[in-house]
Amino acid sequence: MSSTKADKKAAGDAASWLFNVVTSVGIILVNKALMATYGYSFATTLTGLHFATTTLLTVVLRWLGYIQPSHLPLPDLLKFVLFANFSIVGMNVSLMWNSVGFYQIAKLSMIPVSCFLEVVLDNVRYSRDTKLSILVVLLGVAVCTVTDVSVNAKGFVAAVIAVWSTALQQYYVHYLQRRYSLGSFNLLGHTAPAQAASLLVVGPFLDYWLTNNRVDAYAYTFTSTVSCLGCKYAYTSLPQKESLFIVLSCSIAVGTNLSQFICIGRFTAVSFQVLGHMKTILVLILGFIFFGKEGLNLHVVVGMIIAVAGMIWYGNASSKPGGKERRSLSMNGNKSQKHDGLLESTVVDDKV
């Protein structure tokens, strides 16, 4: 019986990661095409449209009875939305103000920051092999993505805000699901409407500040509108196609948002960050395939191999006894609870 449960959990974990990888890579490629080919550069507004589409889906599913009523206190909702929106805005501003190399370094620093949050807030302890495997992943991704590195004061501040807000947002996804026994769709049902409303209000002004272009002045056509139903990036205009990509983007984003909540709920923010760099590798590979092989060299290939080896090592090391343990009592008292396939127990030295 335990073997059957373990097999089911392993299958669920694999399906969750595959769902996240496919939707994340897909949205990046669609948004890259939208921004580069069609010049739709209103990234924050586009993200607001993503969450509006996600909100619409959660409303329909709740109406059909697939999402049960649940409660999330307003203070926790506001904190989550604050962290999430600062993450989105911070990453967009950081990319605008920093070199690509420093932007990539900032993204890599999310892993040690997430580790720090787990150690301080959840009293998690990592084994030596787990720590070393994380360092190998960071090294590999840095080798294949970090090129020119230049830093300026305002770019550094934007990067710091982006890194810490992203780490806190991902930590809170895991925390809120455990604390209030929320499923992934339940949590999305609470957070997506607030994020959509706030980003659609702030987004046009922020995008104008960053790009000096007005979102309402963009020449929307059927093709550009399809991308909006899915992610965070955008392109200027060939007639008839931009609207289609906006709708496509918004559609894929629903899966991206849901899969992120599922994966972080089943695992932790650190595991999501470490194993999530597989998406970085896949985006690089698919970018070389679909957008030309410029930049593909031995240096990049070696970095990819190192990163993948580190991910495999991390998966093995963190799954061993003592690889990654929570040494404090769970926040829910003296009873075990199971949320989205993640078993949380009050026993000291629980494996997470």
pLDDT in tens, 23-59: 888 888 888 888 877 788 888 999 999 999 999 999 9
Q: Which residue has the higher pLDDT, 328 or 207?
A: 207
Provide the pLDDT for residue 171.
93
Classify residue 321 by its DSSP letter. Answer: T
- HSE (CB half, 13 Å, CA atoms) of 55? 17
Look at 327 and 19; give whichever has higher pLDDT.
19
pLDDT at 246: 86
Question: What pLDDT score was predicted for residue 282?
Answer: 77
* pLDDT one-digit tens code per residue, 194-221: 999 999 999 999 889 888 888 888 776 6
Higher pLDDT, 182 or 285: 182
pLDDT value at position 177? 92
User: At 293, is the pLDDT very low, low, confident or very high (cuts 50, 70, 90)?
Assistant: low
pLDDT digits (tens, 9 = 90+) for 165-188: 999 999 999 899 999 999 888 999
Contact 269, 167 (CB under 8 A): yes
Q: Each residue of 229-279: pLDDT tens digit?
A: 444 444 444 445 667 888 888 999 999 998 888 888 888 788 888 877 777
Helices marked H in the chain: 2-38, 43-64, 74-97, 100-108, 110-122, 128-145, 153-180, 184-211, 242-266, 269-291, 298-319
Question: Is 60 exceeded by the pLDDT of residue 163?
Answer: yes
Q: Are 302 and 269 in contact (CB under 8 A)?
A: no
53-82 pLDDT per residue, tens: 999 999 998 898 888 888 999 999 999 999
Contact at 8 Å (CB) between 19 and 255?
Answer: yes
The packing angle between helices 242-266 and 269-291, to 10°, is 150
pLDDT at position 37, please? 77
What are the distances in angstroms from CA 102 to CA 139, 161, 189, 205, 348?
14, 14, 35, 26, 40
